[in-house]
Structure 1
Amino acid sequence: MTYSVRLLVMFCIINMLNYVDRGVIASNGVNGSRGSCSGSTCSSGSGIHHNPFRLIGVGLLVWTIATAGCGCSFDFWSITICRMLVGVGEASFISLAAPFIDDNAPAAQKTAWLAMFYMCIPTGIALGYVYGGLVGGHLHWRAAFWGESILMLPFVILGFVIKPLELKGFTHNKKTKEYGPMLSPELQDETSNNGIKQGVPAIVEGLAEKLPENSSFGKKVMIEIHHFGKDMKELLQERVYVVNVAGYIFYNFVIGAYSYWGPKAGQDIYHMASADLMFGGITIVCGIFGTLAGGFILDKIDSTISNAFKLLSGATFLGAIFCFGAFCFKSLYGFIPFFSVGELLVFATQAPVNYICLHSVKPSLRPLSMAMSTVSIHILGDVPSSPIVGFIQDKIHNWRTTALLLTSVLVGAFGFWFWGIFLHSVDRFNEQSEHGVPATERSNLRPLLDDGNDEARTSQ
């Protein structure tokens, strides 16, 4: 097994554990366990100044402590804070793991490798349904969270001890011991004697000069705020990326509510004896085969951004029809096959949507693009969807109607992704310079994982 394959396997297991936690929360809701609630937030970085691989270890450490804290919670606010920290730890991992996989995957199998990684999302949630139901039923709901922390601990240790890889678009500076975007030697910013980088706008430099002379931290903060704003502006100018994430928000709005309320709705509509196990089984099978199929199909038809949008819009449209039709059946025997086909199609979007996030921006913006995608789909997608669906259900007291209204939101995802087909798109994976250095000048830059990578940089 090559190092790249081992890296993929490790990231897949970690990702699965992340989403087992989501399934545990949903399972607790069905089992009626008191003291459980869901709330998450994600954070994006304004820049990478330490080895990205070590940052994954830090994120997993936060996640492990937070999940253990969920098991020790004593009131609503204590578990809410812990759930927020779980989201912070997850965001650090998700933002960096996908670019690492994209860098190390074979050129002809990039989407397939991403599919294997994102296959762990539905699989993890489904296992969480089963795991939460069994542990919560035989032991206590707190034990489910403690078990997650114990399972993640070995990967936290690995994140700090194994030899780190470098991320495409970033390189290491021997003098400062920091990481940053890979620039051509001619265009690197020089550092002045007082620590302020030349080329920073006058307004930022002026504010920095008003700080006390020994306030180097304040100056660095202002410079980083400027860089973050610059990167965000550049990211939001990528129309392909913005349209893709907009569709992803609608998609995640539905999937998030499905994952939380699905077992409860199924139990109420079809009087399932064990809704956790039923939804868990359907989601595991459809999640695995659907996500893998989406990745392999995109590789087969040629992994381009335009083809990815075609696959996204087609799969979402058909998936919405089948899921909507499933909830129209009064019989469980009609619901199961239609909902299974619908989930199979809907989960086929996971690899293509993240492929676009990674390839519609330059390499140095990939961690930020993944972070902002994660922030957006949570803040505007699955975080508000669960309480909104709960509010609607409290008003109409009809789970079938509520489920049909929720499923219709997939039309929004289809609309944005269908629009993306007609946008001018360029795969920017091989762009090296932050400042758009022409191809003839990019030959001066060292490739990723070159032993002489550091020598390509001039001192800052």
Structure 2
Amino acid sequence: MASDGFVRVEAAWFTPSRLLLLFCLMSLLIYLDRGTMSSAAVSGNPGGDAPGSPPPSGLQGEFGISYYQYGWLQAAFMIGLLCGSPVFSALAKRANPFRLIAVGLGTWTVATMACATSPNFSSLFLARTFVGVGEASFCALAAPFIDDFAPRGKKATWLACFYLCIPLGVALGFMYGGVVGGAPRMGWRWAFALESAAMLPVVMFCVSSAPIPMRGVSASSSSSYVSSDDAGLGTMTAGGEGSCESDAESDDDVGGGDGYGSDRRPRERSRRRRRRLGISSKTAAREFLRDAAELTRHPIYVATVAGYVAYTAVIGVYAVWGPKAAYAVFSTDLNTPSRADLVLGLVTVVAGAGGTAIGGVAVDRLGNSVGNALAVCAVSGAAGFILLETAFASTSFPAFLAFFLLGETAAFVTQAPINAVVLWSVPPGARPLACSMTTVAIHALGDVPTPPLFGATLQALAGGGALRPEHWRVALCAFTAGLLVSAGVLARTAMRAGRG
């Protein structure tokens, strides 16, 4: 089956739209877990001896986990994700990327079940680390597949559909965790166990079905596909019988017509396979460092990641502190912290869905080019900065809500275009590594350090006294400036790349 005149896939189940639906389902389940872990019913609270303290509940109550230790559970997941992403992208050069996604999600499935059966904090910490490792394969390899098989003129829209699953999955996780984690006969362990069970059929399908080729990578442990460069053709074929061989390999195997080619071909293939799979860890490390260094020679990619880091730093602050900030500033309007969670969650879902879709459609309408995608990112980032600064300066809750919704929508417009630039600004074979190194950069330099920095800023503004609403406003306005920094970097990069 051909897709867009470039890739031919010999898998009975395959169509480009089915592949997109499969990846969207995977993404929803993955981000459902992130929302589940953060939901109040699953995380719970450690309780306390102070008068008026709520009774212990959730995993914090069962294991006696402090808020500090709970923060380390979130860090454990991120450690696994950041360590696993480069590993899976490097393995994509030697094994079928579709199979690697299956391996990663299999790890994720086992790890989430381990979360459900953890007897103590240490085992839960280890399980959350491997949840991150398993997710890393998907983060590194899914987007290049979508870029390969999306129809011409709709690539950004397809990427938008894929990235739309992030806010939807997290929001569903909040609700799912609240329902299952808060159910009298279930609880937080069931929340993890059921999501693990939901992913298992997806993993089994990926393992049992014919693998899908990826443009630009040329290795597979089963020789089930080869790249178009190796084949000397404009297609790649999945499946043993339909595999293409390069002209050079055919000449070598046949032996220049000496009559012994058919006998030598299996031996040559066997030697090539052993060379691919028998590579030493030291050599693999050298190759990874060389490939990572090669990415830095693509200035558009480097500048885009820099802008993405600044953008993610702001989004990370909103994700961690948003509901707390809204309740601190507008407590009389929101009444309870739970209502603040609900209101801000709904706003984020609407903004995430609308903004992500707008970004993808806008790039497709303007034309699928790096310059157009960066221009959309720059304009939306600047608009988001203005609207969000206005929201935090508003003293009326309805005005705050309206400007915050518009500002978040504008900010989320960036999601699909900026990830498209990551894919389009490097050679096809470098896309898995580009995606994984982008993941490492935006988390390690973006949304991991900024939430604690925001907390330290609040304490400094309070000066040892009680926090007041104006302290929250000043801190939010200061950190939102990261969107303006991101917009400036991406605008300059867009001018360098050129429009259209």
TM-score tier by shorter-chain length is 0.7 to 0.9
Kept in 2: contact 1:30–1:264 (CA 8 A): no
Moved more, 16-25 or 396-405: 396-405
Q: Shift of residue 379 of structure 1?
A: 1.4
What secondary structure does 2:495 align onto?
A: coil
Q: Measure, in 1, the Cα distance between the counterparts of 2:216 and 2:426.
A: 11
Higher relative contact order by CA 8 Å / sep ≥ 6: 1 or 2? 1
Higher-Rg member (1/2): 2
- Normalised by the length of structure 2, the TM-score is 0.74
* Paired residues for 1:266-415 under 5 Å: 266-271=326-331, 272=334, 273=336, 274-395=339-460, 396=462, 397=467, 398-415=471-488
* Paired residues for 1:214-229 under 5 Å: 220-229=280-289
- Shift in alpha-carbon separation, 1:388–1:137, aligned structure 2, 3 A: farther
Kept in 1: contact 2:221–2:277 (CA 8 A): no
Q: Measure, in 2, the Cα distance between the counterparts of 1:218 and 1:158.
A: 28
Kept in 2: contact 1:129–1:277 (CA 8 A): no
2:60 counterpart of 1:50: no
Kept in 1: contact 2:215–2:227 (CA 8 A): no
- Normalised by the length of structure 1, the TM-score is 0.80
2:195 counterpart of 1:122: no
* Paired residues for 1:10-159 under 5 Å: 10-28=22-40, 32=45, 33=58, 34=60, 35=65, 36=70, 37-39=73-75, 40=78, 41-42=81-82, 43-44=85-86, 45-48=89-92, 49-139=94-184, 140-159=187-206
Q: Measure, in 1, the Cα distance between the counterparts of 2:406 and 2:37.
A: 25
Give 1:299's aligned amino acid: D
Q: Measure, in 2, the Cα distance between the counterparts of 1:267 and 1:137.
A: 23
* Paired residues for 1:230-245 under 5 Å: 230-245=290-305
- Shift in alpha-carbon separation, 1:158–1:134, aligned structure 2, 3 A: same
Q: Shift of residue 243 of structure 1?
A: 0.6
> Cα RMSD (Å) of the superposition?
3.2
Which string of whole-angstrom CA distances, capped at 9 and with x for unpartnered residues, describes residues 255-300 of structure 1? 1222222222223322233223212211211111110110001100
Q: Shift of residue 324 of structure 1?
A: 1.9
Q: Measure, in 2, the Cα distance between the counterparts of 1:70 and 1:96.
A: 25
Q: Shift of residue 330 of structure 1?
A: 2.7
Give 1:408's aligned amino acid: A
Give 1:247's aligned amino acid: G
Which string of whole-angstrom CA distances, capped at 9 and with x for unpartnered residues, describes residues 113-163 of structure 1? 000000111111222222233333335333332232222222111221122
Kept in 2: contact 1:182–1:364 (CA 8 A): no
Q: Shift of residue 57 of structure 1?
A: 0.7
Q: Measure, in 2, the Cα distance between the counterparts of 1:177 and 1:3.
A: 18
- Shift in alpha-carbon separation, 1:31–1:393, aligned structure 2, 3 A: farther
Which string of whole-angstrom CA distances, capped at 9 and with x for unpartnered residues, describes residues 200-247 of structure 1? xxxxxxxxxxxxxxx998862232223222211211110000111111
Kept in 2: contact 1:26–1:261 (CA 8 A): no
- Shift in alpha-carbon separation, 1:265–1:141, aligned structure 2, 3 A: farther
- Shift in alpha-carbon separation, 1:251–1:77, aligned structure 2, 3 A: farther
- Shift in alpha-carbon separation, 1:400–1:174, aligned structure 2, 3 A: closer
- Shift in alpha-carbon separation, 1:374–1:387, aligned structure 2, 3 A: same
In the alignment of these two chains, the number of paired residues is 409
- Out of 420, 423, 432, the position equivalent to 2:493 is 420
Which string of whole-angstrom CA distances, capped at 9 and with x for unpartnered residues, describes residues 298-324 of structure 1? 100111111111100110111111122
- Shift in alpha-carbon separation, 1:181–1:226, aligned structure 2, 3 A: farther
2:212 counterpart of 1:165: yes
Q: Measure, in 1, the Cα distance between the counterparts of 2:135 and 2:34.
A: 11
Kept in 1: contact 2:96–2:213 (CA 8 A): yes
Q: Measure, in 1, the Cα distance between the counterparts of 2:178 and 2:279.
A: 51
Give 2:29's aligned amino acid: L
What secondary structure does 1:166 align onto?
A: coil
Alignment partner, residue 17 of structure 2: 5
- Shift in alpha-carbon separation, 1:138–1:408, aligned structure 2, 3 A: farther
What secondary structure does 1:163 align onto?
A: coil
